Amino acid sequence: MSLKSLAASAALCALLTACTPPANQAANEAAGKSQAAVNAGENQQTESEKLNAWFQERFDEAIARSPMSKTFIGIRDEDYGKWDDPSLARAQEDHDIEMAELAQLRADFDYDALDDGTKLSYRLFEFNGERAKTGWRFHDYGYIFNQMFGTHSSIPAFLINQHRIGSEEHARAYISRLNGVGDYLGGQVQNATRRFENGIYPPKFVYARVLDASKNVLRGAPFEDGADSPILADFRGKVDKLEIDDTAKAALIADAEAAMLGSVKPAYESLMAEMTRQGAAAGEDDGAWKLPDGATYYEDRLKAMTTTNMTAKEIHDLGLSEVARIHDEMRTIMQTVGFKGNLQEFFTFMRDDPQFYYPDDDEGRAAYLTEAVNIIDTMRGRLDEIFITKPGAEIIVKAVEPFREATAGKAFYQRPALDGSRPGTYYANLYRMESMPTYQAEALAYHEGIPGHHMQGSIAQELENVPMFRKLGGYTAYSEGWGLYSEFVPKEMGFYADPYSDFGRLAMELWRAARLVVDTGLHDKRWSRQQAIDYLSENTPNSLSDATNAIERYIVMPGQATAYKIGMLEIQRLRARAEDKLGEEFDLREYHDVVLANGAVPLAVLGELVDEWIASKG
């Protein structure tokens, strides 16, 4: 089990593909079963039982090395007040462990003696190890601090969303983490400084975003007069719910304030000083091509994100083709609603007409959230039509918190805790209501909620008899491909009855198609930031602020944006192949079970699973 992947999922789940590992109870139960099997006598175990016990041991060892991953899965032990070790030395240790595990897998277990399910686990563990091996040369790439994610924003997000306080001891652990911010954030500043010195740093515009987000963390008490800062408000609210006397509560709050002033504030001030220094020297070049061996790095990113061997040119050309196709479908809707003018004029109408937007105030935000809940509830009532397996976990809809809404993505999903202590959450970013048109509300709710990420992520972590690394693992092309496919399926069920809402579905798909063009444009063809913004503005109905935020995201996350459309197209292609081969024997509910019932897999593996299902029907 890769500690590096565990730590990465912990740091990024709330911002990107949002995958929360299973809860403590499930981990302990799995560990207990594994140990019981070992105690029964190794010579009595099948090869599959031995390998699954080994997977659990690797998972337990990885968790033991990551206090933050422990928190994510609900373990509150002596490490509850600690952060992960951000040092380069620890990263090297973790990689060495992962490579040793890959070698041990191949040396100690007989693949041919495994049952089919465990063979798949073997292959996925091996795939992950090989991917880590290939990508290690770029382990010190990536931008430590950027406007999309980074320790400066993940610290408050982690404390607020993950550190639960059910006792005075838990509150003390929270304070301990506040006191540890200096070392944790400071270590990441050291990493960013090293990368800067090695030529790995983002373009100039990123630094202003990071500085603004960092300043937001330090706004309010105890850093300045006024209402509580986000962290103090969270801590105070959690402590207030404890069943302890007021004197003890006041002492805890006073200690938290002291930790924030003595550790959090100077750590963020040091970060801002370093970001100011780097920003003054940063240039305007935007693409990964500017980095040392940048072309090879981008090629590696494309393979990692898409789980294919597609080249940048192939992806760029596919994007252009898909944009043209979707434009034609949009023209049909334009005719349906009787709009007079060309497609770009229709984009302007959809972008500017107030009928498509809730007011940019508290009432408008509340109305948007209510609509999202209604869309998800309606779809939940129709799931039996297209699914056999459905998740047990609940889902809620929330607005992105104020401390990170200015720089967070349009929407994202966080998986539930397996023990039911935390539901799945669809976060809608309502910072600017102009970026959340009502005609896209339906598709967005399907993507992030049901039948999208909530279905896929919850089903994965509710799977039985599979290793933990498969329950919490993920591949961007698979998960985001499913999310985008989930925007399309409701169309077949009769949803998107309003042609404007159907236009919104196409607008969302167009956005992902255009990503193929601009991501490769930025990082392979050396487009400028403005050139890429102009392409989105001219070819999609989204606002200029949408286009700007998106391009700035793609700049700091090379390749990630290409996964969505490539994953969707592959799921559609495999479905079409199954429909062609099976004819009247094709069952959409069964097909969706094949796609979801094994958890996340690389696209090539998904193709093999679908082919096996087709063969089994013959």
Q: How does pLDDT run across 505-551, given as a tens digit for each residue?
A: 999 999 999 999 999 999 999 999 999 999 999 999 998 988 998 99
> Given this model, what pLDDT does residue 406 score?
79
**Average pLDDT for 367-392:** 96
- Asked if 551 and 518 count as a contact pair (C-beta separation under 8 A), the reply is yes
Q: How many helices and strands (H and E) does the chain possess?
A: 28, 3
Q: Is the confidence at residue 359, as pLDDT, over 50?
A: yes
526's tokens: 């050396």
Measure the CA–CA gap between 364 and 146, rounded to whole angstroms. Answer: 30
Q: CB under 8 Å to 442, separation ≥6 — which residues?
A: 375, 490, 495, 496, 501, 504, 505
By DSSP bridging, strand 395-399 and strand 411-414 are unpaired
Q: Looking at residue 28, what is its pLDDT?
A: 45
Round to whole Å and give the CA distance between 334 and 506: 12
Could you state, in order of their start, the residue ranges of all structural domains in the chain?
A: 1-140, 142-283, 298-566
Identify the band that residue 409 occupies on the pLDDT scale cut at 50, 70 and 90: confident
How high does pLDDT run on average in the chain? Answer: 92
What integer pLDDT is reported at residue 37 of this predicted model? Answer: 45
pLDDT band at 11 (very low <50, low <70, confident <90, very high): very low
Residue type, position 472, single letter: L
CA distances from 513 to 16, 351, 501 (A): 19, 19, 18
Work out the average pLDDT over 340-368: 95
pLDDT value at position 36? 46
Where residue 53 falls (left for φ over 0; alpha for ψ -120 to 50; beta otherwise) is alpha
Give, as one character, the DSSP assignment of residue 397. E
Residue 149's pLDDT is 87
Distances in Å between the alpha carbon of 24 and those of 61, 129, 419, 421, 551?
Answer: 14, 25, 8, 11, 38
pTM over 0.75: yes
For residue 421, what pLDDT is reported? 78
pLDDT surpasses 90 at 404: no
List the structure tokens of 520: 């490769």
Q: Is the pLDDT of residue 16 over 90?
A: no
Tokens of 510: 């167009």
Q: Of 41-45, 60-64, 238-242, 255-259, where does mean pLDDT reach its minimum?
A: 41-45
Residue 527 CA to residue 522 CA, distance in Å, equals: 5
- SS3 sequence, 591-618? HHHHHHCCCCCCHHHHHHHHHHHHHHHC
- What is the per-residue pLDDT for 7? 40
Q: What pairs with residue 414 in β-bridges?
A: 425
In this prediction, what percent of the chain has a pLDDT beyond 90? 86
Q: Which of 87, 27, 16 is nearest to 62 (CA)?
A: 27
Written as one letter, the residue type at 220 is: G
Which of 366, 363, 372 lies closest to 395, judged by CA? 372
Sheet holding 395-399, edge to edge: 395-399, 424-428, 411-414
What's 261's DSSP letter?
A: I
pLDDT of residue 43: 59
Q: What DSSP line would sit under 35-83, residue for residue?
A: HHHHHT-GGGS-HHHHHHHHHHHHHHHHHHT-HHHHHHTT--STTTT--
Q: How large is the average pLDDT for residues 442-460? A: 96
> What pLDDT, in 10s, does the model give residues 328-345?
999 999 999 999 999 999
pLDDT at 271 over 70: yes
* CA dist., res. 220 & res. 345, Å (int): 45
Percent of the chain having pLDDT more than 70? 93
Distance, CA of 354 to chain centre: 32
| Stretch among 118-122, 129-133, 404-408, 475-479 having the lowest mean pLDDT | 404-408
20, pLDDT greater than 60:
no
Q: Which residue has the higher pLDDT, 545 or 271?
A: 271
CB contact at 8 A, 522 and 551: yes
Phi and psi torsions of 109, nearest 5°:
-130, 140
596-618 per-position pLDDT tens digit: 999 999 999 999 999 999 999 87
